[in-house]
Chains A and B, each alone.
Chain A
């Protein structure tokens, strides 16, 4: 095994184990912090796949934005001091069966298929991604900006108090 292989196993293990902690943890705060390590692990996998821009985006948006937003959600919907940040789990048996079945099907498909082994060699991607955004994918790029604006206004409208409506 080369050094890159070891790094892959470290990131893959960190991702999957902390993903399991997200699902199985008793406390919401533990779930949120395990989600932090999952996002870091996925960013590491992006680096190994040669996606430098996407790894930085993952850290900035997921860790810096979405995780902070989720922590706000945890703290605003619970009384943080009463130590009752427990979350219930129901239907654990059927859920485990469904999830294990899905994993076995996908892992089997990934193992028995003959995948191509060549593809793109790792190279800096930022310039090329920017060119694709403002060229081939310009319409989707503009639609995404409109979507973000709509989400911003919609979120503010939904949480506003209805007194002066």
Chain B
């Protein structure tokens, strides 16, 4: 029988994959993809607790807000990446050191 812990483990796997990508990839767009993985894992947790634990829909409402914030975040972050590419001709995060003294 599939219970809450199965969903929590899938979500933990997604979270650690996202953190791994965040730590190891150097490309800005790839780092954004890893952030999407992390947000999705949080959403799976919220919906699973809404189904098995709380007995109401507050978790799903919160998941919708997470999706809204993720959309806004990706739009602004991609705008920043595009501006960085225009200035530096590279999407590599290690080269974004204009502010270094």
Contact = CB atoms under 8 A, between A and B. Distances in A.
Given A51-B60, A66-B70, A19 B2 contact: no
Q: Is the interface of B mostly helix, strand, loop or mixed?
A: helix
User: What's the interface size class on A, roughly?
Assistant: 35 or more
A76 interface: yes
A155 interface: yes
Given A57-B67, A66-B36, A117 B29 contact: no
B23 A99 contact: yes
A53 B28 CA distance: 31
B98 interface: no
Contacts of A45: 7, 10, 44, 47
B72 to A, nearest CB: 4
Interface in A12-52: 12, 15-16, 19-20, 22-23, 28, 31-32, 35, 38-39, 42, 45-46, 48-51
Contacts of B69: 144, 147
A73 B36 CA distance: 14
**For chain A, what secondary structure do more than half of its interface residues adopt (helix, strand, loop), or is it mixed?**
helix
A153 to B, nearest CB: 10
Contacts, number: 239
Nearest to B73: A151
Nearest to B84: A77
Interface of B: 1-10, 12-21, 23-30, 32-34, 36-37, 40, 43-44, 47-48, 50-58, 60-61, 63-65, 67-76, 78-83, 85, 91-92
Interface of A: 4-5, 8, 12, 15-16, 19-20, 22-23, 28, 31-32, 35, 38-39, 42, 45-46, 48-51, 53-54, 57-58, 61-62, 65-66, 69-70, 72-74, 76-78, 87-92, 94-96, 98-100, 102-103, 106-107, 110-111, 113, 115-120, 122, 125, 128-129, 132-133, 137, 140, 144, 147-148, 150-152, 154-156, 158-159
28 contacts: A22-B21, A46-B47, A48-B2, A49-B47, A49-B50, A61-B67, A66-B71, A70-B36, A70-B78, A72-B78, A77-B28, A77-B81, A89-B25, A89-B26, A90-B26, A91-B24, A92-B24, A94-B23, A103-B13, A106-B9, A111-B9, A133-B61, A150-B72, A155-B78, A156-B79, A158-B80, A158-B83, A159-B79
